[in-house]
Amino acid sequence: MAYKTVNPYTNEVVKEYSDATPEQIENALSDAHNLYNQWKLEAPESRSKQLHEIADLMRQNSDELAKVMVTDMGKLYREAQGEVELCAIIADYFADHSADLLKPTKLETIATGVAQVKKHPLGPLLMVEPWNFPYYQIMRVFAPNFMVGNPMILKHAAITPGSALAFEKIVKESSAPDASLVNLFLNYDQVSDVIADPRIQGVALTGSERGGKSVAKAAGENLKKNTMELGGTDVFIVLDDADIETTAEIAWRARLYNAGQVCTSSKRFIVAANLYDQFVAKLKENFASVKPGDPMDNSTTLAPMSSKKAKEKIQSQVDEAIAKGANLAYGNEPIDSPGQFFQPTILTDIKPDNPAFSEEMFGPVAQVYKVDSDQEAIDLANTSDLGLGGIVFSGDQKRGEAVATKIETGMVFVNNFMVSLPELPFGGVKNSGYGREMSDLGLNAFVNEQLIVTTDKPNMDNLAGGLVATDPE
Ligand code: NAP
């Protein structure tokens, strides 16, 4: 059975689940379709109270919800509680702002009559989500689309079935209709079948390039609108006038949060030559200070990786990087624990022909590069095929911003760590995907922006005019 919770701290197989049956799939599709037909007649504000209720239920059950994630994928309990709170913040935000953001917009036009764009739901969606933020990834799609009126079917990662069920249970416990979100343990063929079903109108995937390509292909073949939130090799650029103390304090956290398994983790540290030695020394010191241990223990600062497979993958990437000439500046020692821990590791002197130069390393491994100018930092940042996020540190905010705008990614923060909040759009360019989640952009991702032009009588004078029927005034 593919869907299985294996606690990565203890290696205990906690529970296994069978794939969805054809009957479960059909019920989910038909319930979603029926709910869409009901929701399309209702205004978004009619769902606001229910979404607030979901936020409240998440807060009330924060402890239990956090523990499910800790067991599923090893996240630190403290960070898991933060994730539950963030989900509640996202739900509250969309509950409060969606009705306004979805109001019709009037257009200035030379056409006869009044032109406006009205926003309608598209229909049921499939969301395919990864394990690294088991609830937050769901909420980013769920909250806006619940308000729009698109019922959702969830296909979660095979290693986080407990989290999928826990999220679904919260929705069921609220007064929202059960079909608002239905979890199905779908195998890959079933994912393709669901995408092909005429009742499904859109697909949102967060995951790897590999997963994204497969699901986008199925969506394309069936002409289904889709958004792709894929991987990143985000830079953390330190310009020569940056405050090294603040920068260093943020750098190690930006890499090690969630055991380094974040799409927007800083993965490539690009440091001005005058600060390079100091930066590497401080990064080593901070990496050496983390304490691996039980993720439920609040004194633990390094979580295990999400699975044995994830640890083996990062180990093989580090081994290959070193074999191909990278310098091991720190780490890569075994950690004495049966848990899936990987020691924070620093690699330097990575040349463009090294596979590590272009791969995403999804774990606690920092690559550090030395540069002699802002332009060299920008050029190095833009060598990546991925374009998700990035951070720039400079003593001069304007200079930081000038560098930030030249980085080919969807998001850049200057003099701060990256944060994800409902009012800020989230997403990337290049092979990091397309479309945006969160903010008004995410809210409008799966909306029928319908043009309505009304007049009390047509402009008969221009009847022969073909496409352009203008008002003589
Ligand atoms: P993944 O293997 O692509 O899995 C993500 C989801 O896609 C899972 O539910 C997975 O199911 C499913 N999937 C994969 N291949 C599929 C296929 N051929 N057909 C149908 N479903 C398929 O990604 P991951 O390695 O678990 O997640 C880490 C990646 O996600 C990293 O690259 C990370 O940067 C990226 N990520 C991006 C964002 C963002 O917002 N841009 C956020 C978080 C993570 P199974 O689990 O059953 O394989």
- Let me know whether 225 and 249 are in one domain: no
Position 465 in a domain: no
Give the chain's largest Cα–Cα span: 85
- Let me know whether 169 and 314 are in one domain: no
- Let me know whether 393 and 437 are in one domain: no
Position 467 in a domain: no
**249: burial class by Cβ within 10 Å (0-12, 13-18, 19+)?**
middle
CA–CA separation, 194 and 26 (whole Å)? 9
- Using an 8 Å Cβ cutoff, are 306 and 131 in contact? yes
User: How many residues in the chain?
Assistant: 473
Domain of 334, CATH number, reads: 3.40.309.10
- Let me know whether 264 and 338 are in one domain: yes
- Let me know whether 200 and 341 are in one domain: no
Closest CA to 470 of 113, 54, 60: 113
- Using an 8 Å Cβ cutoff, are 147 and 51 in contact? yes
Position 33 in a domain: yes
Element (H, E) at 270: strand 268-272
Separation of CA 211 and ligand 1 centre (Å): 5
- Using an 8 Å Cβ cutoff, are 88 and 58 in contact? yes
- Using an 8 Å Cβ cutoff, are 381 and 359 in contact? no
Catalytic residue selected from 263, 359, 360, 437 = 263
Is 147 in a helix, a strand, or coil?
helix
Domain of 161, CATH number, reads: 3.40.605.10
| 263 tagged catalytic | yes
Low-confidence ranges of the chain (pLDDT < 70): 1, 462-473
Give 267-326 pLDDT, tens digit per residue: 999 999 999 999 999 999 999 999 999 999 999 999 999 999 999 999 999 999 999 999
Give the per-residue pLDDT at 464.
Answer: 63
Closest CA to 370 of 292, 463, 297, 272: 272
Q: Give the atom of ligand 1 at the shortest distance from the alpha carbon of 140.
A: 40
**78: burial class by Cβ within 10 Å (0-12, 13-18, 19+)?**
middle
Position 462 in a domain: no
- Let me know whether 193 and 299 are in one domain: no
Structural domain range at position 270? 235-414
CA–CA separation, 124 and 224 (whole Å)? 11
Q: Tokens representing 371?
A: 């540069």
Q: Tokens representing 286?
A: 């901070």
Separation of CA 207 and ligand 1 centre (Å): 3
Boundary-marking domain end, from 362, 389, 414: 414
Please choose from 263, 308, 317 the residue to mutate so as to test ligand 1's pocket, defined by most ligand atoms within 8 A of CB: 263
Position 222 in a domain: yes
- Let me know whether 172 and 251 are in one domain: no
Q: Residues near 329 by Cβ (< 8 Å), separated by ≥ 6?
A: 280, 284, 346, 347, 348, 368
Is 347 in a helix, a strand, or coil?
strand
- Let me know whether 443 and 327 are in one domain: no
> What one-character DSSP code corresponds to residue 461?
G
Alpha-carbon torsion (109, 114, 116, 120), positive or negative: negative
CA–CA separation, 65 and 54 (whole Å)? 13
Position 422 in a domain: no
Catalytic residue selected from 168, 229, 359, 360 = 229
- Let me know whether 52 and 159 are in one domain: yes
- Let me know whether 261 and 383 are in one domain: yes
Q: Residues near 402 by Cβ (< 8 Å), separated by ≥ 6?
A: 374
Position 326 in a domain: yes
| Ramachandran category for residue 223: left, alpha or beta (phi over 0 → left; psi -120 to 50 → alpha) | left
- Let me know whether 346 and 436 are in one domain: no
Give the per-residue pLDDT at 274.
Answer: 98
CA–CA separation, 388 and 411 (whole Å)? 6
Q: Give the atom of ligand 1 at the shortest distance from the alpha carbon of 2.
A: 47
Position 371 in a domain: yes
- Let me know whether 198 and 259 are in one domain: no
Give the total number of structural domains in the chain.
2
Separation of CA 37 and ligand 1 centre (Å): 31
